[in-house]
């Protein structure tokens, strides 16, 4: 194993983690602040990617389409909150799961009606389609570097928003004690609509950024949603910091497992067994990680509620 490969896999883990963070950030905000299990988060991610693809087609520019897709998905999210989800806050988690699961099915069929049942085209801007050579001679996909950059930027912005602004203060107040915040005169209704729209816009950002390296197709949200849930459970529900640490942990453990476990097993197992055991263990590694974290810290690494 050369040092370059080791470094490249590290970068891959970081990149995959930040990819998950884009989705997990919105999910943890909604889950933590509204105490609402929103399975339809993945559907907003799908809608975001499809809208992005359509805007790229219409405008011919990736960078022009990006803000349009974010805004449009934010509006979709706000409408969803105002018309439907608002009625679910007072219900128990099971009802929320059922209702938002129904939204997944409806969203999938709606997208199929509008865009057809086959995957659609969404590619990276022409300047970012190939690899670049990093210092040290390592080749790395330029678009993946962009994902790393956007992930870091979102993390910094969200940290600033939540920790340093007045809106962030209200959000934190809502997360730690909703009733008290209401009693202090915070308009919880408007705050929740705003948070949900922000979560939806983050979904769209994830969909738009990941579309060029993943398939834009019906049901694309369900796969990644499971990982996003793992991330926020590890990180502690409602905490942006937790989501960031959780997604980096999941990204690095998952990538590292796939990259190094087969090699590691090869050193002390016969090749036949190593090639069978490597992928099998690697594919459950993140769930093992989740189990271990929950055993020692049942609230996750950085619980938002005390």
Partner 1 sequence: MKRFAGLATALLLACNAQAADQLKIGFLSTLSGPAGGIGVEIRDGFNLALKLAGGKLGGMPTEVVIADDTLNPDTGRQLAERMLRRDRVNLMTGIVFSNVMLAVWPTLQQAKVFYVAPNATPTAITGKGCSPYFFSASWPNEAHHEAAGEFANSKGFKNAFLIAPNYPAGKDALTGFKRMYKGAIVSETYSKLNQLDYSAELAQMRAAHPDAVYAFLPGGMGINFIKQFVAAGLSKDTQLIVPGFASDQDVVRAVGDPMLGLFDTSQWAYDLDNDANRRFVNEFEKEYRRIPTLYAEQGYTAALIIDQAVRDAKGKVEDEKAFHAALMKAPERAKTPRGKWKEAANGTPIQDYYVRALVKDRQGRIVNRKIATILHDHRDYWAKDCPMK
Interface residues with partner 1 (CB under 8 A)? 2, 5, 8-9, 12, 15-16, 19, 108-109, 112, 116-121, 123-124, 129-131, 139-144, 212-220, 223-224, 227, 255-256, 258-259, 262, 275, 279-280, 282-283
Q: Give min distance, CB of 276 to partner 1, in A.
A: 8
Measured from the CB atom, is 198 or 218 closer to partner 1?
218
Measured from the CB atom, is 142 or 299 closer to partner 1?
142
Q: Give min distance, CB of 15 to partner 1, in A.
A: 7
Q: Give min distance, CB of 98 to partner 1, in A.
A: 19
Closest by CA position to 44, among listed 127, 97, 110: 110
The residues that bridge with 19 in the sheet, in sequence order, are: none
Neighbouring CB atoms inside 10 A of 67's CB total 13
Measured from the CB atom, is 141 or 167 closer to partner 1?
141
Tell me which H or E stretch contains 243: helix 240-268
Measured from the CB atom, is 59 or 139 closer to partner 1?
139
Measured from the CB atom, is 184 or 263 closer to partner 1?
263
What span, in angstroms and rounded, lies between the C-alpha atoms of 14 and 20?
10
Closest by CA position to 37, among listed 237, 197, 288: 237
What span, in angstroms and rounded, lies between the C-alpha atoms of 172 and 161?
11
Q: Give min distance, CB of 291 to partner 1, in A.
A: 18
Decide if 264 contacts 252 (C-beta within 8 A).
Answer: no
**What dihedral angle (degrees, nearest 10) is formed by the CA atoms of 12, 16, 18, 23?**
170
Decide if 21 contacts 155 (C-beta within 8 A).
Answer: yes
Measured from the CB atom, is 67 or 130 closer to partner 1?
130
Measured from the CB atom, is 96 or 108 closer to partner 1?
108
Measured from the CB atom, is 32 or 212 closer to partner 1?
212
What span, in angstroms and rounded, lies between the C-alpha atoms of 48 and 130?
24
Q: Give min distance, CB of 141 to partner 1, in A.
A: 4
- What are the residues whose beta carbons fall under 8 Å from the beta carbon of 24, sequence distance 6 or more? 228, 231, 232, 235, 243, 246, 247
Q: Give min distance, CB of 219 to partner 1, in A.
A: 4
Angle, CA 264 vertex, CA 9 and CA 253 arms, to 5°: 45
The residues that bridge with 114 in the sheet, in sequence order, are: none
Q: Give min distance, CB of 26 to partner 1, in A.
A: 17
Q: Give min distance, CB of 192 to partner 1, in A.
A: 30
């Amino acid at each position: 194993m050369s040092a370059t490969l080791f470094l490249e896999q590290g970068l891959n883990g970081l990149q995959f983690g930040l990819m998950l963070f884009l989705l997990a950030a919105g999910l943890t905000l909604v889950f933590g602040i509204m105490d609402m299990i929103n399975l339809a988060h993945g559907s907003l991610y799908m809608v975001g990617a499809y809208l992005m693809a359509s805007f790229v087609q219409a405008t011919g520019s990736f960078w022009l389409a990006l803000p349009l897709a974010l805004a449009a998905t934010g509006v979709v999210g706000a409408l969803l909150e105002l018309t439907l989800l608002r009625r679910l806050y007072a219900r128990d988690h099971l009802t929320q799961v059922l209702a938002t699961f129904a939204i997944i099915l409806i969203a999938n069929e709606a997208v199929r009606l509008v865009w057809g049942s086959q995957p659609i085209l969404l590619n990276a801007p022409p300047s970012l389609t190939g690899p670049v050579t990093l210092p040290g001679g390592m080749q790395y996909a330029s678009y993946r570097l962009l994902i790393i950059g956007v992930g870091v930027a979102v993390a910094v912005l969200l940290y600033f928003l939540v920790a340093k602004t007045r809106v962030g203060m209200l959000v934190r107040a809502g997360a730690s004690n909703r009733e008290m915040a209401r009693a202090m005169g915070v308009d919880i209704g408007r705050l929740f609509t705003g948070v949900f729209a922000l979560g939806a816009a983050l979904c769209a950002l994830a969909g738009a950024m990941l579309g060029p390296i993943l398939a834009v197709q019906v049901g694309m949200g369900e796969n990644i949603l499971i990982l996003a849930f793992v991330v926020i459970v590890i990180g502690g529900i409602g905490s942006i910091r937790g989501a960031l640490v959780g997604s980096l942990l999941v990204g690095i453990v998952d990538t590292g497992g796939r990259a190094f476990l087969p090699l590691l097993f090869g050193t002390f197992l016969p090749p036949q067994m190593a090639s069978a055991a490597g992928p099998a263990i690697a594919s459950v590694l993140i769930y093992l990680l989740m189990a271990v974290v929950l055993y020692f810290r049942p609230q996750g690494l950085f619980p938002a509620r005390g």
